Structure 1
Amino acid sequence: MRWNVLPYTIPLWITLIFSIGTAIYIFKRRAVPGAIALFIMSLIMSLWSLGYIFELLSQSLREKIFWDNVQMLGGAMGVSCFAFALQYTKQKICLKRRVTILLAIEPVIIWILAVSNLTELFRGNAYIDTSGPFPALIYDMGIASWIDFAFGYVMYILFIILLIRFFIRSHDLYRKQASFMMIGLTITAGGYILSFLDLIPKYMRDVSPFTFTILNLSLFFSIYRYKFLNTVPIARETLFEKINDGLIVLDANKVIVDINLLAQTIINTTTNEVIGQLFHGIFPNSQEILKNMDNSMQTNLEISLKKIDQEYIYEVESLPLVNKRNTNIGWLIVLHDISERKKMEKALQISEEKYRNVCEFANDGIVIIQDGYIKYMNTKLLEMINHTYEEVINHYFDIFVIQEFRTLVRETYRRRIMGEEVNNRYEITLLCKNGDKLDVEVNAAVMNYNGRLATLGYIRDITERKRAEKALRELAVKDPLTQIFNRRHFFILAQKEFELSIHHKYSMCAIMIDIDHFKQVNDNYGHAIGDQVLCNIANNIIDSIRDTDVLGRYGGEEFAVFLPKTDICKAQLIAERIRKNIMQSSVSTDRGQIFVTASLGVAQILNFDEDDIDKLFDRADKALYTAKQKGRNKVIIYN
């Protein structure tokens, strides 16, 4: 061992310790999207640093080449960066096993070439240079080395593109997380470029491991300052910021990881002041909330907050957040302002007349039910159901509820009056005078009315919320442009039909459809017209298939159809019908009619014991490729 080399290994030992510590921390949070890829990246940094340390300490050429081969495992660094970006930014491309294998092929082949070095494909003219402060391994880069360099930087560029796109459309918290990831990896990539372009002294052949310390520090800062790996990006702008309740997200350690604008207003703070802070150090009356939390159930309680000499009362709901393994990973705190409702209840206790004056100006509907009959209904609720006061007073209350919910409403009312434990808040649908249906949330309580028990109900219109929830559900299953199933949901439905057909030994077929020369439509007429063409084609396909068939947008200008209980002859007829309908249809523009054609590939199940749905659609795709080779605007059966 050459002792004069030891000072140069100190930064590498620091990097090694940092990398191992980071890997252990990340592995404990491996359930978070992107954590596994980041864990692999940390292991690669550890191996790379360890290999470089022992390369510097080795004296013979053979030993140095051995430890240089260990460092070549770092070729998977770019792949792990790209894989992390795919998972963290929740791209539609998911890391299935076959995608992972494809990404790993290049690093594995390069490592094999580095170890075997056949015909010096990886390194040539290796020797020990003694002109520097310590003996260093020097060699010429082979063609395999340059391929590995190019592949790694393609992966890194893709990583940067994904994170920049994510940065533009994300919340401030996630922007900061992404920024530190990009900064750390950019410095590492810069060191890698300097090494490959021989812009550093020969004896410092590879400075990448020295930059890993900076990368690890950026990771640590992102983890501890911005709670990276404790939170994941969500579609928060639609619901989280615009909901009428204050929302606070806690991790498993009761640390605040997100907070919406209304909650910031309630507790008079900002995001930068509370993110990363313990909940009990920020929120008033937090001890009362925390002691009621339980990992297996949600809790509700009321708290009072004073702001500018005015008291506000909030209903606090604590909802446990669990992962796929049903393990508690945090809490969602919902703050609902019930100050107005409390004022109404207090007014009721003073006098019915004062109560009516208050509730007539309320934003929610209010109803009093006694012995099953409506005794009072405020103006807001009358407007909601489009009735007059005379039309509802002393009428049985459930005639204004749709049939589906009448049994629930009657039973809940009966049990509440009997003093039994019932859910005070539930959702029903009211029947309006003009026949329209109105989704509402009911919050009911028992009261004393004219010396006898009655039910007081607060009715809130949740039509917009229901519409938003429906839109979110449709976004999860439908292609937003053509309004047919997206690829993910298409394969979920097709897989169910496939398994049913396999069980009953039914014939089944698949059709792959690709629009011929669709790029020319976009180039000549613009993407807006191209979108109209895609929608027109989707409608033509819908008109050409049966109700039992499953249609989805496969991607771009490709569509897929699964045909259950269908033999190849009938499938060919359906495919021809689709082709003709597309060919004969057109889209009107100010530059005239646009006609397009389509190529179709058809395949059928061949072996009930060995085939799966992927094989079925692979065959249809091959037939589609043949149709395009044979001139397009054709239907080809897989043979």
Structure 2
Amino acid sequence: MGTELLFYRLLIILAGILSLFLSLFSYWKLKNAPGARQYMFVTFLSAIFTFLYALELSATTLREIKFWLGLEYVVMPFIPAFILLMCLDYIGIKLRQRYFFILFSIPLVTAFMHHTNELHHLYYTSVGLLESAPFPIIQLEYGPFFYVHSLYLFLCLAISIILLLLQLKKSIFRFRIQLLTMVAGLFVPILANSFYLNDLSPYGIDLGPVSMSISFILHGVALFSFQMFSVVPIARERVFDNMLEGVIVLNHKGVIIDYNQAIYRILPWLNASSIGKGINSVLSHSESLIELISHGKECVYECVEGTLTEHYQVRFSELVNKKGFKIGTIISFVNITDRVEMQRRLSELANYDGLTKLYNRRYFMDQTIAALESLFAQKGNAALIMFDIDHFKMINDTYGHVAGDIVLCEVANLAKNSLGPQDLIARYGGEEFIILLRGRTMDGAVELADSIRKEISESLIHLHDHRIQVTASFGISPIEVTSLDQTEAFKEALRYADQALYMAKDNGRNNVQIHKEQLQMA
């Protein structure tokens, strides 16, 4: 029988060594991870309790056994509290201070009641040696407060299990394995304690220390194999569920290891099976997005879904370990549609005339210089047309400024609708307009200008009970795009077109004139 007792003692000592190893490992490797601090404490307390119980089994007298049992109750009552705290921290719940005190008040009372049992016998009604055992084993008759402690132990474990199981539904497959591993580890001490309390353990030996070590082995499996505390699934769920930005998490090999619900708006084809696949294979539906992500630089992604267009700012954040090595990447998609729309509106205000919706003078000049530089490279032709509405002041004086605004808009629309997509038009100021024609000869420019003139003169503009007929005068100048200084070429053409416009007014208005030097050449 001595050999059998030695076997149990060695088994318990090995369990204590394992608990101590897990505690030290969590201290050195996981000290800043969620839940790891509680894991470290509970494994350390379990190691102390286990070694003390091994010493209890080595005792030969009841007095020695009671001594070691008293020391065990210095640490053992606190183990359930740290297990519950570990699970709470794991799922992202922080206890308020008052609940924290309540949680530890029962272990403190338990330790006190145990060490003062000789005065009241509320924890053990009797303490003796088991007569049927071949070696000294304590036999205890439990008092009411022992069952309070047992209920506390089972409640801590049961609450931990329930909280973990409640997270299963909203967790992806990878994290369900972690949760179930945690739950399995919590069931082991419950079964072992049930055996002990029902006198089913061999010779009345408490296998609780061994069961806790087995429990910590399962937690260790989750810790080492699934990186339980490195990527906290429940905390992840709580954070991700409240994020408006779509997020994808990649490991260092570009494999998807996580994503949140908001990403479905941008990548609706993602699903649970995408976990563990390369980002490029999952994004095969969108080559443009693959190209953006492959560069790994902050950029803007335009997402078009039917008639809806949204803009997202794509950001990249590296994940590094304590040694500074890259272990992954977080890709976030921030919806900036409102900002892009606001920028578009501000651009319109800055670049467009508020009344006619044509380019304003400044923006037209910038666009013209850029267009001329492109034409210079292609050795193309360009012409400039300036025109204004004849006797426009008379329209304002006769019908009012509101009527004048309507006339300006109608003339602007008639001119704009006559142009091709390569041409530019702007309101130059007041009732004066300017047009850049690209890729047209002078004959083509004159023909187009005369066509616009006729359309304006033949159109009747309706103003309430009045119908107004207006005319316009046109001046045309070619633009020399043979020099590298296109700004000077534009200014020269602008001066010539303005001179031609005054020629048209001097010739009775409602006509088209070419700059006199060009007219002589013609």
User: Could you state the TM-score of these two structures normalised by the residue count of structure 2?
Assistant: 0.52
Which structure would you say has the larger RCO, counting Cα contacts within 8 Å and 6 or more residues apart? 2
1:333 counterpart residue number: 330
Is the partner of 2:351 in helix, strand or coil?
strand
How many angstroms apart in 2 are the aligned matches of 1:126 and 1:55? 14
Matches within 5 A, 1:448-463: 449-450=370-371
Is the partner of 1:38 in helix, strand or coil?
helix
How many angstroms apart in 2 are the aligned matches of 1:54 and 1:331? 48
Change (3 A) 1:239 1:172: farther
Using the TM superposition, give the Cα deviation of residue 272 of structure 1 relative to its aligned residue in structure 2, in angstroms. Answer: 7.2
Aligned alpha-carbon RMSD (Å): 5.2
1:135 counterpart residue number: 136
How many angstroms apart in 2 are the aligned matches of 1:168 and 1:5? 46
Which amino acid in structure 1 is aligned with residue 86 of structure 2? F
Q: Is the 8 A contact 1:248 1:260 kept in 2?
A: no
1:371-422 superposed Cα distances (whole Å, 9 cap, x missing partner): 996389xxxxxxxxxx99x62633778xxxxxxxxxxxxxxxxxxx9xxxxx
Using the TM superposition, give the Cα deviation of residue 255 of structure 1 relative to its aligned residue in structure 2, in angstroms. Answer: 9.7
Is the partner of 2:127 in helix, strand or coil?
strand
How many angstroms apart in 1 are the aligned matches of 2:229 and 2:255? 13
1:101 counterpart residue number: 101
Q: Can you give the 5+ residue segments of structure 1 that lack an aligned partner in the other structure? A: 294-298, 303-313, 338-362, 377-386, 398-416, 418-445, 454-639
Which amino acid in structure 2 is aligned with residue 110 of structure 1? T
Using the TM superposition, give the Cα deviation of residue 30 of structure 1 relative to its aligned residue in structure 2, in angstroms. Answer: 3.7
Kindly indicate whether residue 88 of structure 2 is the aligned counterpart of residue 86 of structure 1: yes
Change (3 A) 1:371 1:135: closer
How many angstroms apart in 2 are the aligned matches of 1:25 and 1:176? 22
Kindly indicate whether residue 240 of structure 2 is the aligned counterpart of residue 319 of structure 1: no
Q: Is the 8 A contact 1:374 1:393 kept in 2?
A: yes
How many angstroms apart in 1 are the aligned matches of 2:212 and 2:18? 9
Using the TM superposition, give the Cα deviation of residue 204 of structure 1 relative to its aligned residue in structure 2, in angstroms. Answer: 3.4
Matches within 5 A, 1:177-216: 177-201=178-202, 203-216=203-216
1:153 counterpart residue number: 154
Which amino acid in structure 1 is aligned with residue 90 of structure 2? Y
1:391 counterpart residue number: 357
Q: Greater CA radius of gyration, 1 or 2?
A: 2
The number of equivalent residue pairs is 343
2:258 counterpart residue number: 258
Q: Is the 8 A contact 1:375 1:394 kept in 2?
A: yes
1:20 counterpart residue number: 20
1:11 counterpart residue number: 11
Please identify which structure carries the higher helix content. Answer: 2
Using the TM superposition, give the Cα deviation of residue 171 of structure 1 relative to its aligned residue in structure 2, in angstroms. Answer: 3.9
Aligned partner of 2:351 among 374, 382, 387: 374
1:110 counterpart residue number: 110
How many angstroms apart in 2 are the aligned matches of 1:21 and 1:104? 26
Change (3 A) 1:254 1:184: farther
Which amino acid in structure 2 is aligned with residue 207 of structure 1? L
Matches within 5 A, 1:618-629: none
Using the TM superposition, give the Cα deviation of residue 66 of structure 1 relative to its aligned residue in structure 2, in angstroms. Answer: 2.0
Using the TM superposition, give the Cα deviation of residue 239 of structure 1 relative to its aligned residue in structure 2, in angstroms. Answer: 6.4
How many angstroms apart in 1 are the aligned matches of 2:361 and 2:78? 74
Is the partner of 1:168 in helix, strand or coil?
coil
How many angstroms apart in 1 are the aligned matches of 2:86 and 2:65? 32
How many angstroms apart in 1 are the aligned matches of 2:176 and 2:99? 27
How many angstroms apart in 1 are the aligned matches of 2:118 and 2:343? 84
Matches within 5 A, 1:484-495: none
Is the partner of 1:138 in helix, strand or coil?
strand
2:40 counterpart residue number: 39
1:586-625 superposed Cα distances (whole Å, 9 cap, x missing partner): xxxxxxxxxxxxxxxxxxxxxxxxxxxxxxxxxxxxxxxx
Q: Is the 8 A contact 2:161 2:186 kept in 1?
A: no
2:451 counterpart residue number: none
Q: Is the 8 A contact 2:9 2:54 kept in 1?
A: yes
Change (3 A) 1:168 1:49: same
1:594 counterpart residue number: none
Which amino acid in structure 2 is aligned with residue 374 of structure 1? N
Identity %: 17
Change (3 A) 1:273 1:217: farther
1:354 counterpart residue number: none
Change (3 A) 1:396 1:154: farther
Q: Is the 8 A contact 1:231 1:257 kept in 2?
A: no
1:217 counterpart residue number: 217
Matches within 5 A, 1:415-434: none
1:70-116 superposed Cα distances (whole Å, 9 cap, x missing partner): 3322222222232233333334x6242x4322211111121122233
Which amino acid in structure 2 is aligned with residue 109 of structure 1? V
